[in-house]
Structure 1
Amino acid sequence: MSSNSSRTPSPTSKTPISTFIIPTPASEDHITRYKEIRLASLLTNPEAFGSRYGSENNGGSESALTFAQWEERVNTPGRSIFAAVPASGPSASLSPSPSPSPSPPPQQATISLNGVHSEPQWAGTLSLLSPAMLAGIPKGLSDPMHVAYPPEIAEAERRGDAEIWMLVGMWVRPGYRGQSVGRILIERAFEFVRQDEGIAEREGDKEKGARKRKDKIVMLRVISSNASAVRLYEKAGFRRTPIDDAELEEGQSPGQSWMSIKLFSK
């Protein structure tokens, strides 16, 4: 997969933002930076994630993962990881001909790689799981349909009328909140989904592809009480369907909602 970089400045942000998809196979630098922002998200907003930074015995904690495990996660087929960076930082060199931008704001931290104080931290990230990846994820210990999508979406998938994509791991660093970073990341993910060729074309049947074209539905789970997150997703076009607490999987918190949006190919 190519790096698929683009510069998407926000008209309201104080710092111009670039976005890119981590290329695979990912470099050590990209893996290290992804690990840093992922662990920062779990430390800063643990209530927003099913995973945990750490635990008393480190069982299942992400802080205990080895570099090889992080590498495997970043390079997982069907997972696309989007990152937002200050356009003035070195990572923005992945974008075509970035224009000059202001110096980073005072609160902008940097991270150390191999002992070298390096470029600004990534401002935000999200991951997008493809239909192929979701198809390979067990949906329950006993019932293969244990993950309860909203009924109309589950039915569309069952009929073969829809491709389901999942947006996960969405997080923006506190110093960049209120600067449209989340919106920029979501719009970049939408662009990726719209441009995907679709299952019919991937199967090599171009003629039947026109008849088999499936709706592209992007879904996510959100804590219903997280008003700022819900507001962000609603502004992006998602609609909410509360999840019955009885349908939650083991270890998941109550008070969650599915949110979904239907996209169409360009």
Structure 2
Amino acid sequence: MCGRFALTATPDQTAAFLDVAGLEDFPARCNIAPTQPILMAIAGAPRAPGSNLPDRQPMLVRWGLIPTWVKDTREFPLLFNARSEGAAEKASFKAAMRHRRALVPASGFYEWRQTGGKKGQPYWIRPRNGGLVAFAGLIETYAEPGGSEMDTGAILTVKANADIAHIHDRMPVVIDIRDFARWLDCRTLEPRDVADLLRPAQPDFFEAIPVSDLVNKVANTGPKIQERGEIGTEPEKVRRQKPGADDSQMTLF
């Protein structure tokens, strides 16, 4: 899965990577979480012959896709990821797979190695050679009962490659820059025509760096959360304990 990621490139770098315009005021963010606004890019209007204008459109969407048929969002799960293996057939995603495929620019993502069913060691997972990546995304515009509309989105995931599998069994789908146009082409290409793009990243594409548990809290947004560090390695501090206190009661964060 992908429940946190970062986009720390400058607006100019992100705009050039996606071939979009209008990102001058888009800030760097180190700890992006579900329900927050995220940047996505979709195919725009076809370029006129000889035009130098970008043919992709940037969008800010709520991270957590809401299908159009949902009646009560309070009773609907938060769909911030979509399993790529069945997205084209699943009711929640099939319309977006056909009509609203998108790119999600990122500097990397975070994942946690599970320990006893709980979040254990967090990792900052980034391209080994640096730079940006684009995750495969889906967009759905949800009409609220009051009449207002909200653009929402999800990130597609796939079975993890060998670099990530020891941490988690899923990873985001990475779209190669050479395949941006294919993935975004919802006018002429059906989901089956781009199914080959829904695959794990190439071996050694990512590097996984252990980091401290600062990333666990959404309020921690500075670059310090990406610094190398491991949890559970510091010696336990001796503290006074009241008689009868239960030492097994601990806070997670």
The two structures have a TM-score, normalised by structure 1, of 0.24
Q: Please state which structure has a larger fraction of its residues in helix.
A: 1
Give the structure with higher Rg (CA).
2
The two structures have a TM-score, normalised by structure 2, of 0.25
